[in-house]
Structure 1
Amino acid sequence: QAAGRGSYGEVSFGKYRGKNVVKKDFKFLHTKKLRLFNYREVYALATCNHQNIVKFIGTGPNTLISNIRYVVIERATNASLAERKFESSFKE
């Protein structure tokens, strides 16, 4: 299910192993600078492990369209960060 399109690629919603996920498809990255930015973003997502940051699930090539890579992350809920902070204050 397509969710949006921007200058760097497309975002779509789906399911992976029963979980709601977001898939970010990158357009062809024809410059070294863009590829480096892409790899840094993926590395940053993969190394984050915090309850308030969406979970990184994986990345890989899209074999249907050459030279495009994608990232899969968990889909966040509709609640804003402020709403989540408010909810967690009652749990403490």
Structure 2
Amino acid sequence: MCDVISIDFCLEWALPVCVAVTQREFYLVRGPKHAFDLLVKFWPSNMDESGRRARQACIDALCCREPASLAREQFLKACREADLLVRYDLEGMC
């Protein structure tokens, strides 16, 4: 018999994070699903430790094993260490 894993793809953070992956390309990241997608798309395959921790924290938040706030903290840390411009003091606009 298979186990069913509950996943909350609609989970959002109270404050979104704006990430600039280039000088002209910005993403408004509203929660762990968006953060995970960005980590998969823009981080290199030889992702550093903070990127791996952020990716796992996003998975854990989506599976309701850890709070979404932890995923946000880990995502912010990974962005800063990757020298991506980050704004996290906004309420919806990059």
The TM-score normalised by the length of structure 1 is 0.26
Q: Which one has a larger percent strand, Structure 1 or Structure 2?
A: 1
Q: Which one has a larger percent helix, Structure 1 or Structure 2?
A: 2
Greater length-normalized contact order (CA 8 Å, ≥ 6 residues apart): 2
The TM-score normalised by the length of structure 2 is 0.26
